[in-house]
């Protein structure tokens, strides 16, 4: 069994700063690592300033930093900090009070439902899969770019 690093307890200032980075340059997403897999929680922050993301990694104590591909010579090389699953939940619990964009609603929905709808053994009943699909659809609608005027009013 893999041993995961524990997320550190953030000071209110650290939590607020990281929340600002997530609001401005980050994502709270349910992604698939491989085709056909169930979606899993991922929190990430991208930047062209590696020292900034090294600070985030140091303060949180878990996650990883990877280089992003640059496809054109005029693009600045950038890096991404990412943390997933239960570790990402721990981060969201600490930064959620400071989030100000639609990501606050995403974090709240995740914190309320993710553990209940994601069995650790990966074994889903049909009822749980159906409930999880509804949860994922609600989560994905909480992105202003994906909303139509009708869905914006209902959220």
Q: How far apart are CA 131 and CA 110, in angstroms?
A: 14
Strands of the chain (E only): list them: 26-31, 40-47, 64-67, 79-84
112-130 pLDDT tens trace: 999 999 887 778 888 998 9
Specify the pLDDT at position 38: 83
The CATH code of domain 12-147 reads 3.10.28.10
Asked if 50 and 76 touch (Cβ cutoff 8 Å), the reply is no
- Residues with Cβ < 8 Å from 17, sequence gap 6 or more? none
Q: Give the pLDDT band of residue 32 (cuts 50, 70, 90).
A: confident
129-150 pLDDT tens trace: 899 999 999 999 998 775 544 4
Q: Which two tokens stand for residue 102?
A: 């639609």
Task: Provide the CA 113 distance to its chain's centre, in angstroms.
Answer: 14
Asked if 92 and 60 touch (Cβ cutoff 8 Å), the reply is no
What is residue 134's three-state secondary structure? Answer: helix
Mean residue pLDDT across the chain:
88
Specify the pLDDT at position 65: 96
Q: Which two tokens stand for residue 44?
A: 């990430």
Asked if 38 and 32 touch (Cβ cutoff 8 Å), the reply is yes
What is residue 42's three-state secondary structure? Answer: strand
- Domain boundaries defined on the chain: 12-147
């Amino acid at each position: 069994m893999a041993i995961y690093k524990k997320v550190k307890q953030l000071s209110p200032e650290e939590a607020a700063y990281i929340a600002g980075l997530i609001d401005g340059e980050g994502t709270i997403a349910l992604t698939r690592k491989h085709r056909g897999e169930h979606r899993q929680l991922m929190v990430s922050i991208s930047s062209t300033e590696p020292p900034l993301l090294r600070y985030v990694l140091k303060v949180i104590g878990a996650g990883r930093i990877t280089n992003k591909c640059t496809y054109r010579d005029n693009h600045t090389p950038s890096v991404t900090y990412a943390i997933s699953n239960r570790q990402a939940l721990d981060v969201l619990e600490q930064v959620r009070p400071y989030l100000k964009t639609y990501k606050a609603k995403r974090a709240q929905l995740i914190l309320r439902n993710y553990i209940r709808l994601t069995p650790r053994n990966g074994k889903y009943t049909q009822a749980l899969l159906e409930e999880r699909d509804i949860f994922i659809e609600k989560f994905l609608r909480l992105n202003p770019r994906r909303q139509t005027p009708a869905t914006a009013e209902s959220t």
